[in-house]
Amino acid sequence: MLIREIQQKDNASIAQVIRAVFHELDAPKVGTAYADPILDTLYEVYQEPRSIYYIVENEGKVVGGCGIASLENSDASVCELQKMYFAPEIRGTGYAEKIIEKCLDFAQKQGFEICYLETLSFMTAAQKLYKRIGFENIDGPMGNTGHNSCEVWMTKSLNSKK
């Protein structure tokens, strides 16, 4: 398996992976990444300064991804870990942790000091991973992601790795 930066040709494939996870988990479609108007154009979205999106590719097939970008309506020191979704066949392989570490390394190099994320409360495996990497729960949302169905918010200081 390969972790690489997103290419334009990946747009439809990663959007399909993300939507499939929502269907598989019977997760809310409104107020989540599923309804984001940008979901079909992630390559273009992540061409913005201080942002990147990584794809996990398995034998030429897109099987997951994760990105970093400035947190909308926040100060310049805060980034957001965004759109981390994986097809069932690669869950539990360690690629989630690898891709998050790549994202956090990128964020540190871009001068971000805090990384924010939000998720759904029933996504407990993801929350365990985030905590293991050093994310801590906070009491409410930051910025303006439009994901009002997400009820778990976490941050990690980027001044230290773990």
Q: What are phi and psi of 88, to 5 degrees?
A: -55, -35
Read off the pTM.
Answer: 0.93
Give me the pLDDT at residue 34, please: 83
**CA distances, 130 to each of 47, 104, 120 (Å):** 25, 12, 13
Fold of 2-157: Aminopeptidase (3.40.630)
How does pLDDT run across 108-150, given as a tens digit for each residue?
999 999 999 999 998 898 999 999 999 999 999 998 887 788 8
CA pair distance 152, 2, nearest whole angstrom: 30
pLDDT of residue 30: 82
Per-residue pLDDT for the chain (162 aa), expressed as one digit of tens each? 999 999 999 999 999 999 999 999 888 888 888 888 899 999 999 999 999 999 999 999 999 999 999 999 999 999 999 999 999 999 999 999 999 999 999 999 999 999 999 999 988 989 999 999 999 999 999 988 877 888 999 999 998 544
DSSP 71: P
